[in-house]
Every structure is written in C-alpha cells, then in structure tokens.
Amino acid sequence: AMSVIGDRRSREQKAKQEREKELAKVMIKKEDLELIMTEMEISRAAAERSLREHMGNVVEALITLTN
C-alpha cells in the first residue's frame, strides 16, 4: 500500500515539474505583465503565472483574474 502511494506521489510530482517547464517556455510581454500588475494590484509572480497559464494572452489572463 505504501509503494502505491509513493508511486502516485512521484507521478504527480513529475507531472507538476513537466507543467512548470512548459509554462516557463511561454513568452510574455513586459508591457502585459506591468498592465496586469497595476490594474489588478497583484504581485509580479502572480501576474506572470497568470499570463503564462494563458499562453501570454493578456485578455484571457485578466478575465480569469477578475472572476
């Protein structure tokens, strides 16, 4: 039972690392990042994360942050 839990955790961790690698590849514009930071009054890290999750699309990122 313990090995099943350990295997599942390692798979989840690996999937999470792969997701982070994919997000890191997404190019974002400095202007878009600054726009989200000032308009939504959120940290640089949160704004960058939102932009990367939406593949650099500032409109989709803002819509998600306002909902």
Q: What is the 3-state secondary structure (H, E, C) of 30-66?
A: HHHHHHHHHHHCCCHHHHHHHHHHCCCCHHHHHHHHH
Q: Provide mean pLDDT across the span 14-25.
A: 92
CB 26 within 8 A of CB 52: yes
Could you tell me the pLDDT band of residue 36, with boundaries at 50, 70 and 90?
Answer: very high
Could you tell me the pLDDT band of residue 48, with boundaries at 50, 70 and 90?
Answer: very high
> What is the total count of domains within the chain?
1
Could you tell me the pLDDT band of residue 26, with boundaries at 50, 70 and 90?
Answer: confident
Q: What is the 3-state secondary structure (H, E, C) of 27-38?
A: CCCHHHHHHHHH
* Mean of pLDDT over the chain: 92
Domain range for residue 10? 3-66
Q: What is the pTM of this model?
A: 0.74
Does residue 33 carry a pLDDT above 90? yes
